[in-house]
Chain A
Amino acid sequence: MSKEFTVLYFASARDATNVQSEKISLPPQSTSISLENLTILLKRRHEKLAPILENSLYAINMEYVENDDQTILVKEGDEVAVIPPVSGG
């Protein structure tokens, strides 16, 4: 069985993907994925998510990570949250 992580979508990211969360398999033979590759993967899965990811935050296991931090890796069982800014009031 392939190794999986979970992605949670909030606000406009949820509207764009039409799902609250989904399980995604790590690339074959790998035990982790970088944030850069995660972004590419998510854009490929959900076309409408692409512009939203430009301004969204990532949190891994509900801890904020800088999306240009190359040392950060998403591993099996991790929960990645995609959090776009909400600006209304």
Chain B
Amino acid sequence: MDKSEIQLLMVLNSRLKEENEQLKIRVKELEEKLDKQNSLLISNTHNESNSRKTCNTFDKDTDSPNLEDLTLAEYMRYGRQLILPGFGKTGQLKLKNTSMLIVGAGGLGAPAAIYLAATGVGKLGIIDHDTVEKSNLQRQIIHNESREGISKAQSAKMTIEELNSLCKCVAYEVLLDSSNALEIVKKYDIVIDATDNVATRYLLNDVCVIAGKPLVSGSALRMDGQLTVYNYKRGPCYRCLFPKPPPPESILNCADGGVLGVVTGIIGCLQALQAIKIAIENDESPNNLLIFSATSYPLFRSMKLRSKKKDCGLCGEHPFITELQDYVQFCGSGALDKSPSVKLLGYEDRIEPKTYRNLRNEGTPHVLIDVRETVQYDICSLPSSINIPLKDLPSKIEEVKKSLEAPNTPVYVICRLGNDSQHAVNILKNYLKGEVKDIIGGLYKWSLDVDPDFPIY
């Protein structure tokens, strides 16, 4: 661990201590407030509450011995939904006695957790192995600036406890995998898939079928989203619809493809709504896949699904998948939505940002090609660079050749993180006579090593 890391940890530590102190004070305040409200309620509604208790004995909804009744504080807090036909006290009691597991405290999990906690779900489990980063805050509204660097699961728990101290929240700071999934999922009634990767989607699907839990699955990317409940009311599981995972190179994640925060918000809220409907057993709709597209008309379309597939390997008539497997291997991609560093080129085909800067300052003739998508190039770019997106490069070799002063003019390639630029060098090497190198670590490293004023996004 180097000095800067130690320093960072110390800052983080003191920030957390401070937050902890503040939270303790807040808890005390809230407890006092609650006591006051409770005693006020008891004195004001003494007679009423007596008669209600008598009523309860005959109340069909509360005759299940397992259901814990509402407290006075809960009547007051949830009044606006208690008076809703189709929800009522029955619904509130069911919510109170339901536990839900939210997998992922990101763009989908954030709004889902906030609404589920606010509405009075008895117990919420939140799993996330990641820590809060600045680039999360555009959509992961359960976190805030002061939480940067701390565990997302803990940060979500802090927000929930501030919002509704009646909701029991359990934070799991783990990466969900085959070794721990079943044990955690078994403890909950409803599972909410708010993850960001294919491997965890298959894992959650399998574990929910094995453990017999409904899986409220949401996903969002760019301007699109989807919502489905799997393993519910004899409907299909994720494998019924998608028996084989998509090839890893075809999968876009939010870090590379982008996502509009409100799109994850819409899907996350729909997941919360769906989980509530399951919990209160008020869901008449047939199994369906809801498709949201922010740029299309209509915004929502619903595709009616069939029942489970008879020959599904997991939930069909003759299942052959009977235990959890290695999902990273099955999908060929990991459970992380970060772009892994690619190492396609040897050192002789690469150049450090600092070395390239010297060469620029010395006025060495060369051509700089930026292979990012144009929408990214328009955010920021290095002067005198040429933008040719990687996907267009094979058809634009002649354009590259024309830009060279001499046939052996060196060509340097840059992108955002230094992955695509390596693919581009491999393509260009076949056609160019001069030196072709990629700039290590891309514009990200350029900003760190050479020009701190160059934006990182």
CB within 8 Å of B: which residues of A?
10-12, 14-15, 20, 51-52, 54-55, 57, 59, 62-64, 66, 81, 83-89
B301 touches A88 (CB 8 A): no
Of A12, A52, A83, A87, the contact of B289 (CB 8 Å cutoff): A83
Docked pose: A88 CA to B224 CA in angstroms: 10
Contact with A along B394-411 (1 / 0, CB 8 A): 000000000000000000
* Other-chain contact of B197, A11, A12, A83, A87 (Cβ < 8 Å): A87
A11 touches B224 (CB 8 A): yes
Q: Contact between A10 and B219 (Cβ–Cβ < 8 Å)?
A: no
Please indicate the chain B residues that have their CB under 8 angstroms from the CB of A81 in the complex.
291, 301, 303
User: What residues of A have a CB within 8 angstroms of the CB of B337 in the complex?
Assistant: 88-89
Alpha-carbon gap, A55 to B224, bound state (A): 17
The 19 sampled A-B contact pairs (Cβ below 8 Å) are A11-B226, A14-B293, A15-B222, A52-B250, A63-B304, A64-B303, A81-B301, A83-B291, A87-B219, A87-B221, A87-B251, A88-B219, A88-B220, A88-B254, A89-B108, A89-B109, A89-B194, A89-B219, A89-B267
Query: By DSSP majority rule, is chain B's interface helix, strand, loop, or mixed?
Result: mixed
- Nearest to B226 among chain A residues (CB) is A86
B262-295 CB contacts (< 8 Å) to partner A: 264, 267, 289, 291, 293
B296 CB contacts on chain A under 8 angstroms: 20
Q: A20-B296, A52-B250 are in contact. Are A86 and B303 (CB under 8 A)?
A: no
How many inter-chain residue pairs (CB < 8 Å) link A and B? 96
B196 part of interface (Cβ distance < 8 Å) = yes
Contact assessment for A55 and B303 in the assembled complex, using a CB-CB cutoff below 8 Å = no
Are A88 and B252 touching (Cβ within 8 A)?
Answer: yes
| Complex contacts, A14 vs chain B, CB 8 Å | 293
Q: How large is the interface on B (under 10, 10 to 19, 20 to 34, 35 or more residues)?
A: 35 or more
Inter-chain contacts of B291 with A (CB < 8 A): 10, 81, 83
Collect the chain A residues with CB atoms within 8 Å of residue B244's CB.
55
State which of B198, B302, B304 has its C-beta within 8 Å of the C-beta of A87. Answer: B198
Which residues of chain A are within 8 angstroms of B259 by Cβ–Cβ distance? 88
**Interface residues in B295-318 (C-beta closer than 8 Å to A):** 296, 301-306, 309
Complex Cα spacing A26 to B247, Å? 31
Check: B441 CB closer than 8 A to any chain A CB.
no
Query: How close is B297's CB to chain A, nearest CB, in angstroms?
Result: 9
Is B418 close to A, CB under 8 A? no
B303 touches A59 (CB 8 A): yes
Interface centre among A14, A20, A54, A86 (most CB of B within 10 A): A86
Chain A residue numbers with a CB within 8 Å of B106 are 89
Specify which chain A residues have a CB less than 8 angstroms from the CB of B224 in the assembled complex: 10-11, 86
A74 → chain B, closest Cβ, in Å?
16
Which residues on A sit within 8 Å (CB–CB) of B104?
A: 89
For residue B246, which residues in chain A have a CB less than 8 angstroms away from its CB? Answer: 54-55, 84-85, 87
CB neighbours (8 Å) of B108 from chain A are: 89
Known: A81-B301, A84-B246, A88-B257. 8 other contacts (CB 8 A): A14-B293, A64-B289, A81-B303, A86-B220, A86-B226, A87-B198, A89-B108, A89-B267
Chain A CB within 8 A of B122 CB:
no
Chain A residue contacts of B125, Cβ below 8 A: none
- B242 proximal to A (CB < 8 A): yes
- By a CB distance below 8 angstroms, the chain A residues around B231 are none
Indicate if B94 sits at the interface (CB-CB under 8 A).
Answer: no
Contacting A85 at CB < 8 Å: which of B242, B253, B254?
B242
B:214-258 near A, CB below 8 Å: 218-222, 224-226, 241-242, 244-247, 250-254, 257
A85, B220: Cα distance in complex, Å: 10
